[in-house]
Structure 1
Amino acid sequence: METVTIRPPNVPLRDTISSKFDIYAAYQRILKNEEISTPLAAILALTELIENSDAGTMFELVKALNDGAAELRGRTTNPISLNAGCELFIAFVTLSTHNSTTFSSLKQELVRQGQNYAAEALTYRKKIAELAVGFIKDGSVILTHSYSRVVMQTLLLAHERKRISVFVTEARPRGLGIKTAEALTAAGVPSTVILDSAVAYVMEKVDFVLVGSEAVVESGGLINAVGSSQIAIIARAANKPFYALAESCKFHRLFPLSQYDLPTHNSNILSFSRPSQSKLSMPVTTPAVEFPKPIKELTDNELLNGSHKITQEQISKNNPDVDYTRPDLISLVFSDVGSLTPEGVSQYLVGMFSGSE
Structure 2
Amino acid sequence: MADLQIYESYQRLLQNEDLSTPLAAILALTEMMERSTAGTMFELLNELKGSAEALSRQSPNPIGLNAGCELFIEFITLFPHDAASFSELKTELIRQGQQYAKQALTYRAKIAELAFDFIKDDSVILTHSYSRVVLQTLLMAHKRKRISVFVTEARPRGMGIKTAEMLTAAGIPCSVVLDSAVAYVIEKVDFVLMGSEAVVESGGLVNAVGSNQIAIIAKAANKPFYALAESYKFHRMFPLSQYDLPSHNSRLLSFQTPSGNPRTPSGRRPSESSLAPNHTASIKITQEDIARNNPDIDYTRPDLISLVFSDVGSLTPEGVSQYLVGMFAG
Do both share a fold (TM > 0.5)? yes
Aligned residues: 330
- The residue that corresponds to 2:202 in the other structure is 219
- The residue that corresponds to 2:32 in the other structure is 49
Q: Letter of the 2:176 partner, please give it.
A: V
Identity %, equivalent residues: 71
From 219, 222, 236, give the equivalent of 2:219: 236
Normalising by structure 1, what TM-score?
0.88
- Pairing of 1:197-276 with structure 2 (within 5 A): 197-276=180-259
Superposition deviation, residue 277 in structure 1 = 7.3
SS in 1 for 2:82: coil
- 8 Å contact 1:147–1:180 — kept in the other structure? yes
- The residue that corresponds to 2:13 in the other structure is 30
Identify if the C-alpha distance between structure 1 residues 294 and 147 changes in structure 2 by more than 3 Å, giving closer, same or farther: same
Identify if the C-alpha distance between structure 1 residues 296 and 258 changes in structure 2 by more than 3 Å, giving closer, same or farther: farther
Larger radius of gyration: 1
SS in 1 for 2:262: helix
| Aligned CA-pair RMSD | 2.2
SS in 2 for 1:279: coil
- Pairing of 1:154-169 with structure 2 (within 5 A): 154-169=137-152
- The residue that corresponds to 1:132 in the other structure is 115
- The residue that corresponds to 2:77 in the other structure is 94
Identify if the C-alpha distance between structure 1 residues 131 and 299 changes in structure 2 by more than 3 Å, giving closer, same or farther: farther
- The residue that corresponds to 1:352 in the other structure is 327
SS in 2 for 1:167: strand
- The residue that corresponds to 2:314 in the other structure is 339
Superposition deviation, residue 128 in structure 1 = 0.3
Q: Letter of the 1:40 partner, please give it.
A: L
- Structure 2 unaligned segments of length 5 or more: list them: none
- 8 Å contact 2:308–2:317 — kept in the other structure? yes
SS in 2 for 1:263: coil
- The residue that corresponds to 2:52 in the other structure is 69
- 8 Å contact 1:69–1:83 — kept in the other structure? yes
Provide runs of 4+ in structure 1 moved above 6 Å: 283-286, 295-298
- The residue that corresponds to 1:325 in the other structure is 300
Identify if the C-alpha distance between structure 1 residues 138 and 99 changes in structure 2 by more than 3 Å, giving closer, same or farther: same
- Structure 1 unaligned segments of length 5 or more: list them: 1-17, 287-291
SS in 2 for 1:141: strand
Q: Structure 1 CA distance, aligned partners of 2:158 and 2:280? A: 30
Superposition deviation, residue 302 in structure 1 = 5.0
Identify if the C-alpha distance between structure 1 residues 204 and 301 changes in structure 2 by more than 3 Å, giving closer, same or farther: farther
- 8 Å contact 1:303–1:309 — kept in the other structure? no
- 8 Å contact 2:25–2:68 — kept in the other structure? yes
SS in 1 for 2:207: strand
Superposition deviation, residue 294 in structure 1 = 3.6
Identify if the C-alpha distance between structure 1 residues 116 and 275 changes in structure 2 by more than 3 Å, giving closer, same or farther: same
- 8 Å contact 2:135–2:163 — kept in the other structure? yes
- 8 Å contact 1:217–1:223 — kept in the other structure? yes
Q: Structure 1 CA distance, aligned partners of 2:273 and 2:43? A: 64
- 8 Å contact 1:21–1:52 — kept in the other structure? no
SS in 1 for 2:68: helix
From 103, 111, 135, give the equivalent of 2:86: 103
- 8 Å contact 2:261–2:281 — kept in the other structure? no
Superposition deviation, residue 37 in structure 1 = 1.0
Superposition deviation, residue 276 in structure 1 = 3.1
Normalising by structure 2, what TM-score?
0.95
Q: Structure 2 CA distance, aligned partners of 1:19 and 1:256? A: 31
SS in 1 for 2:298: strand
Identify if the C-alpha distance between structure 1 residues 177 and 285 changes in structure 2 by more than 3 Å, giving closer, same or farther: closer
Identify if the C-alpha distance between structure 1 residues 277 and 20 changes in structure 2 by more than 3 Å, giving closer, same or farther: closer
1:221-261 Cα deviation digits (max 9, x unpaired): 00000000000000000000000000000000100000000
Q: Structure 1 CA distance, aligned partners of 2:96 and 2:273? A: 67
- 8 Å contact 2:196–2:228 — kept in the other structure? yes
Superposition deviation, residue 99 in structure 1 = 2.2
